[in-house]
Every structure is written in C-alpha cells, then in structure tokens.
Structure 1
Amino acid sequence: MKGKLSDGTVIAVKQLSSKSKQGNREFLNEIGMISALHHPNLVKLYGCCIEGNQLLLVYEYLENNSLALALFGREEQRLNLDWATRKKICIGIARGLAYLHEESRLKIVHRDIKATNVLLDKDLNAKISDFGLAKLDEEENTHISTRIAGTIFGVVALEIVSGKSNTNYRPKEEFVYLLDWVRPCS
C-alpha cells in the first residue's frame, strides 16, 4: 500500500498477518535484519507499527515498483529496459548482496532473491527488499539453515537478460524452463 507521512514523505506500507507464526516471524526478522543495514541497494525501513492484530512495516516508496512487474507485468506495467539499464540492475543487486555477505557488520544471507523482491527507484536503481526469510550467517553456528528458500541470483540475472520469467506459465506460449535455454560453455 502507498501512503504519506505527515511531513509529506511518500511511503510504502507492507501488512503481514499476525494470525500466523510465519507472519510474526517474518515481521520480527524484517525489523531485526533491515533496521541495522544501510546501503544504496537495500530498501530503507522507516519504521513499524503493531496495532491490534495488524503488523505493519513502513518502507521508502520506490516509484517503479518491482523488477517482476517491470519485466513480466501486464503490458502497461512493463518497462522498456535497455541493455545498459539491465546491466545496472544486475550490478545493483550484486552490490546489495556483496554488502550483506561481506561488508556489513552483520553477515546476512537473504535466502529469497527473486524479481518480486527487487524494487526499482525512479532512476531504475535496484534495491533488495523482503528480508522475512533472511538468516544471520554465523560461521560458528553451522546448524543454522542458510539454504536458499527462493530463486538464486543467477536465475534472476538470467530473467533480467532474457526478459523471461523462470516460473510463469503462459497458456498461449510453449512452456519451456528458462534454465533449459542455457547451455554450458565448452
């Protein structure tokens, strides 16, 4: 949801379900992870609100919505992304991941990188969002699962380059997995 603060700042509000353990866990995880992180390729969390049974997260508003809509949305939602812009988006995602894995005080594995979790600002800079499944990468705690829960970055990069979704099925088109298009180099 789109909203506005009293100072006129436009914001995005994400509502999570407080009725499920997953909603509560994602809410706490998101606050704990992203509130400690500041990087140009990570979405900014302004705050949160718990009112009654509603869990709300307040983020910066990003004018161009998600990478998924830019690439695979309805015709009026899709953006005409040239090669330079596609490269800029890939590099932005990679910079955000490098920050999470190597440069931040907390070493974090996002675990859910996919086109819907990459947002685009007015200048089409990529910002990683949705830290609900993220885990701290604590080397001494090897029992903590850091397995990938969503799409891996390489698949997202293929989606950006090809303009094809890895998961969407369109009945009028022949169904082919994106990874089947990629052949190993010999």
Structure 2
Amino acid sequence: MVWSCFSCIGGHQNKSQKSMNESIDYPWEIYTLKELLQATNNFNKDNKIGEGGFGSVYWGRTSKGVDIAVKRLKAMTAKAEMEFAVEVEILARVRHENLLGLRGFYAGGEERLIVYDYMPNHSLLSHLHGQLADQCLLDWKRRVNIAIGAAEGLSYLHHEAQPHIIHRDIKASNVLLNSDFEAKVADFGFAKLIPDGVSHLTTRVKGTLGYLAPEYAMWGKVAESCDVYSFGILLLEIVSGRKPLEKLPNGTKRDIVQWATPYAQTEDFDQIADPRLNQNFDVHDLKSIVTIALRCTDGNAESRPSMKQVVAWLKDGLSTKKEMPHLKNNETPHVDQDEENYEKNHTDREELGKQQFDDGGIWR
C-alpha cells in the first residue's frame, strides 16, 4: 500500500532520498511543502475553491505555470489519514481520460496534501444546482458527452483496473469538468478494492443519501452494482436538472426515480427534460438515457446492467438510434430508500455530508 512508504517519501527527505525517488518512475510527484505553499500563496483564503468536513481545496499555480488543485486535510485523525492513504493509492493505480488525475502529494509532519489536475469548469453539481446553474452552460450535447465520459471512467474502474475498484460515492459533485467540459470522476476516499473472485463485500455504509443503492444503504452490502445504481441516479439528474432527493410540501421526501418513473411509463419523456434546455434535446436520446437510468436503479441488484453494458447502450443506442431494453412489465424498477432505517444502520451520520463544499463538490 502506498501509505506504507509515506514515512520514507514524505516531507522529511534528505537530498539523497529525494534524488533517489526522482530516479524512480513514479506515476505521481512527491511535492515539498514549500512548493505547495508557494503555489497556493500560503493557502490564502482567496485561493480556496472548496471546503468540507475533511478540510479545504485550494487552487494553485506551480513555478512551471501549471494550474493545480490541492486538497488539504483539516485534522490528522485516523479516519482522515486512512482516506488520504486510500485516495493516493487508488489514484496511483489508475490512469484513464475520464478519471481525475493525481499529480502528486505531500505527507509530512501534520500536513497531508493531495495534488490534482485543476478542472476549470468545476463540478457537474455546480452547473446543475450550484453557482453556475443560471448560466446554462450545459447544453444537450455536453450533457450526453458528460454522461458517456463518466460511464466510461466508472467502467474502467469496474472492469479494467486490477484489482477492480468500487467507487462508493458516485454523485454530481464528484464529476468534475475540464476546459472542454469532459467528465472526470473524482474523489476516491471511499473506494474499495475488490480482489478477483469476490462478488461483494459487507462494509460500513458511506456515501450520500439519494445516490445509495438500497441493499448498500440498509445492509452495507457493496458491489459494482451499487455504483451502477448511483450512476443511474446521476443520469436522471443530468437530463432533468433535478436533485436526487426533494422535500414535498407535506414534508415527505421523494427521490428522483419516484419522480421520473411515472413519466417514463406513460412515454411522456418531455416532462423529464430540464426546462433550462428549452426543448433543445433529442427525444430519442432522452428516452434512451432515462430507460438506461431506470434499468440501473432496479431494486434488484442482480437485475442491473454492468457499467460495460451501460457504456455500450449509451454509445451505441445514442449514435445508431437503436431501441434500449424496455422496462420489465412496465413496473417501477426501484426500491425506496427508507431514510429512518438508513440512519439507524449508519453509525457515522457525518459521512453523509463528506466533502460537501459550499456547492457540494470536491471544488467549485
């Protein structure tokens, strides 16, 4: 594990150690604290682009003129340090155009810093619900490309990375957008490595209400199908511009699947599209994406498609106008998330708000 060598490659290196490390072909750079202080203007508040329970994210520019984002842990708790170690290890293992790139890290003394590629168009959440929502920068083509890109990144984690990786926190705030509005799946602090031959794990529940698969929320049973469920929620969020959970006037909560399913069953797909699109969308593509989303959020985990299948459906169905698989017996493929029972089973409630910045994302 990467963490096991932090003590020898962290901030307290002598020149010979640093020279030795630089001669090894690491997929990331080991920064000095001085470099990151200079890049972020001593973590100046004007450089802060996000803040959450774990700490803050700062924009910076290196001496070579490269824009970076630096995640700085707020406190050195055992939990925070473990998430730091997990994220660095996961990102050091993977390389894909739709995953947020790890540039490097610093680990020394009481500082734990992770350095990423900077994403100038911030998070998907900021465009759907945050400070950029009113600018309507996400037209239909961009939304479709973001959906496909995020699906391909997730498919890589499930089917190509070795060992396979379950993200466990797929949501709009963890999909970042580069200068061309291409999707980059981010934030691997909750990720799980799945050894070959293991179908699922039972673990402590972490994540965000509204995105959690029912079997995971209730019993902590986690598998690739949990990420598929979360991605289905994300698809509906992308095309509709609605939040995963909404509070109704009577005080009850309704999730986005419950809202969208009646429209899908009556083929009234126009009612699902984000009004900000002003009817500028492809009706066939909208129908296909919604149908895929409802298959992904099937209440039976075994009935959900794999992410490899989702990518094929998205790319093939949207480009060739093929019909997507129909919903089974025109029934709602969904099991409600019981928030009360979820919270009873969730022993660490603060995890639900993990890394929720002022716009809810890894950074704005």
* Separation in 2, partners of 1:2, 1:143: 37
Q: TM-score w.r.t. structure 2 length?
A: 0.47
AA paired with 2:233? V
Please tell me whether the aligned partners of residues 177 and 183 of structure 2 are also in contact (alpha carbons under 8 angstroms): yes
* Separation in 1, partners of 2:117, 2:161: 20
Q: Helix, strand or coil: the match of 2:233?
A: helix
Q: Helix, strand or coil: the match of 2:93?
A: coil
Greater Rg by CA = 2
Higher helix share: 2
Q: TM-score w.r.t. structure 1 length?
A: 0.88
* Residue among 154, 162, 167 paired with 2:232: 154
1:103 pairs with 2:165: no
Please tell me whether the aligned partners of residues 163 and 196 of structure 2 are also in contact (alpha carbons under 8 angstroms): no
After superposition, the CA RMSD in angstroms is: 2.5
Please tell me whether the aligned partners of residues 100 and 109 of structure 1 are also in contact (alpha carbons under 8 angstroms): yes
1:166 pairs with 2:166: no
* Residue among 63, 67, 70 paired with 2:127: 70
Aligned residues: 184
* Separation in 2, partners of 1:77, 1:149: 31
CA separation of 1:62 and 1:75: change in aligned 2, threshold 3 A:
closer
1:85-104 equivalent positions in 2, closer than 5 A: 85-104=142-161
* Residue among 172, 176, 187 paired with 1:115: 172
AA paired with 1:160? I
Shift of 1:169: 5.8
* Separation in 2, partners of 1:20, 1:64: 31
Shift of 1:142: 6.0
CA separation of 1:133 and 1:12: change in aligned 2, threshold 3 A:
same
Q: Helix, strand or coil: the match of 1:182?
A: helix
Deviations 1:53-102 (CA, angstroms, capped at 9, x unpaired): 22110000001011110110035675421111111001001000111111
* Separation in 2, partners of 1:16, 1:168: 31
* Separation in 1, partners of 2:186, 2:67: 17
Gaps of 5+ in 1: none
| Higher-RCO chain (CA-CA 8 Å, sequence separation at least 6) | 1
Gaps of 5+ in 2: 1-57, 212-229, 266-326, 331-364
* Residue among 124, 131, 148 paired with 2:181: 124
Match of 1:32 in 2: 89
Match of 2:223 in 1: none
* Separation in 1, partners of 2:134, 2:74: 27
Shift of 1:176: 4.5
CA separation of 1:90 and 1:169: change in aligned 2, threshold 3 A:
same
Match of 1:84 in 2: 141
* Separation in 2, partners of 1:66, 1:180: 25
Please tell me whether the aligned partners of residues 61 and 67 of structure 2 are also in contact (alpha carbons under 8 angstroms): yes
Please tell me whether the aligned partners of residues 62 and 121 of structure 1 are also in contact (alpha carbons under 8 angstroms): yes
